[in-house]
Amino acid sequence: MLMTVAWPQIGRTQRQDAQRDVWQKPDQVVHALGIGKSEVIADIGAGTGYFARRFAPLAERVYAVDIDPEVLKIATGKAPANLEPVLARADDPKLPDNSIDTVFFCNAFHHIDNREDYLNKLAKALRPGGRVVIIDFFKKPLPVGPPAAMKLSEQEVIEQLKRAGFTKTRGFDFLPYQYFLVFNK
């Protein structure tokens, strides 16, 4: 059964988050991931914590990873103690080796420049059996998201992860504007 939770609203107005909630379906996304209490999650491109704050009550630890120190302040302000900021670099997530169960990208993977190198760094951070989750916009004109020229197609993402040694193990199709892919090493 899908649980609906009143999540903290931070960094955006409640109206903006409510509008995003309609198409981002955060409760369904979190439910689909089946997060366990002992899980350690790295939310790459966490921004103001839209998903990181949702993961925190369910997981052992959540790393909110971003290259912008100001949004990390927002993401971790009044956050649960298990939500930790990680000030990353554009080319390095700055995560400890063998420490992460789930690497989560939402609306961020298309921003990574040298994705294969970045994925290789993430692979070192993943524990055995770990997964990479990518939610990003379909490569076509949409009423939300970046311009089509900035987007990656689902197939491009699958091929890039394959070249980095990952296999697509699952996909979900309930998001209207995005693909939702799960990969394992």
Residue with more model confidence, 2 or 176:
176
Domain membership flag for residue 11: no
Instruction: Evaluate if pTM is beyond 0.85.
Output: yes
CA dist., res. 125 & res. 120, Å (int) = 9
**Domain hosting residue 138, numbered range:** 38-184
The pLDDT-based confidence of 18 (bands split at 50, 70, 90) is confident
What's the domain count of the chain?
Answer: 1
In CATH, what number is assigned to the domain containing residue 135? 3.40.50.150
Q: Helix, strand, or coil here: 21?
A: helix
Domain membership flag for residue 12: no
Q: For position 85, what pLDDT does the model report?
A: 97
Interval 120-127 mean pLDDT: 96
The answer to whether residue 62 scores a pLDDT higher than 80 is yes
